[in-house]
Amino acid sequence: MRTVKYFRLIILFFLAGWNGAGAQQPDEMGSLVKWMTLQEAMEKVRTAPKPIILDFYTDWCGWCKHMMKTTYADPGLAQYINLNFYPVKFDAEGKDTIEYFGKIYKPTSPDPRRPHELAVTMLNGKLSYPSTVFLNGFDAAQNKFSVTLNAAGYLETQKIEPILIFVLENASRNCNYDDFRVHYEKAFFDSTNKSSMERLSWMAPELFFRPENIAQKKTMVMIDSEWCNACKVMRRTTFSDSLNLDYLSRTYGLVELNALSGENYFFNGKTMSGAFSETVPFNKLSMELCRNNLVLPMLVILDEQGKILDAIPGYITPRFLRDISHYYGDNIFKEKSWQDYTQSLYGK
């Protein structure tokens, strides 16, 4: 299927520089995911932050076992999880005492098939198995995760893919999961979306960012990369949505910039080329446009003279793009703050 094939291509890109060579060996449940304990994951997340996948299972749960033998046995998906997440298996009826964020969690009873306090808390009392909790945005100062997403039931590969992207790739900044899932399915499954996409004209960055270019109108620069799945969803749906299509075509120029491109670009009176530094692989133009705070996807809005008006990090929904495009496109920003503008639209 098209989406699964595409997702595996992205996985292979991630793995290109990975040293985990050699065939993966399944565990006793058939899973290729390298599971760890919650304590191990929490130790790692404090020094090398990554999202956590927390799989709640029970010994008697047939669908839990099936998910291990199918979803987590997919080689590409398992390697993607192993590389980008800390995967944790937790027996929801286990009898161990667990410390989590300084609080002690115990079994609710020594009797069999009685839930563990941690499962009750993290699943909000909705004890169905398997259940998967996705955590991201660890804040050491507040000692908590900023993103928590619960998914109950068996998750096949196609169903878990958009959740992984949503949690890992900053889509949660400006969007809830249900909206993202709808746009994800539209981006990769809805063949009618192609005609809307083709109505938008995108200029190559090497043609726009050059000394002789004179902008005729405001410009939106979408900064993305080949491995950014959320970027693909945003590129294929947000801009071509009926809320935005006609207005963007009239009001803005559109430029798509690969953050990893090695091309030379001209901006702010100087030529920029190559990676920003040995440790930052993004090109210098991307870093300049996002004011050295690059989060993919990134939307940068330029005025008619090519000056930066705004740089917005993370995945953007069609409605949010409609609001922000009119805010700058209709020059409302010259008279109202963003807060006053949105309050006039939504009363909050």
| Cβ contact 91:118 at 8 Å | no
Q: What is the DSSP string of 187-208?
A: HHH-TTHHHHHHTS-EE-HHHH
pLDDT score recorded for residue 276: 84
Task: Quote the DSSP letter at residue 172.
Answer: G
Q: Which of 160, 94, 154 is nearest to 130 (CA)?
A: 154
Query: CA-to-CA distance for 26 and 40, rounded, in angstroms?
Result: 20
pLDDT score recorded for residue 71: 98
User: Mean pLDDT of residues grouped by 10 in the chain (348 residues)?
Assistant: 42 42 79 97 96 98 98 96 97 97 96 97 97 96 94 96 94 92 94 90 95 89 95 96 97 97 94 87 95 95 96 96 98 97 90
Q: CB 14: neighbour CB atoms within 10 A?
A: 14
pLDDT score recorded for residue 21: 43
Tell me the CA end-to-end span of the chain in Å, nearest whole number: 43
| Cβ contact 275:264 at 8 Å | no
Query: CA-to-CA distance for 276 and 279, rounded, in angstroms?
Result: 8
pLDDT score recorded for residue 8: 42
Burial of residue 143 (CB within 10 Å: 0-12, 13-18, 19+) is exposed
pLDDT score recorded for residue 20: 47
pTM here?
0.88
Query: CA-to-CA distance for 256 and 232, rounded, in angstroms?
Result: 11
pLDDT score recorded for residue 69: 97
Q: Which amino acid is residue 338, in one-letter code?
A: W
pLDDT score recorded for residue 125: 96
Stated as kind and residue range, the H or E segment containing 338 is helix 338-346
Query: CA-to-CA distance for 192 and 186, rounded, in angstroms?
Result: 9
- Domains in the chain (CATH in brackets) are 2-168 (3.40.30.10), 194-346 (3.40.30.10)
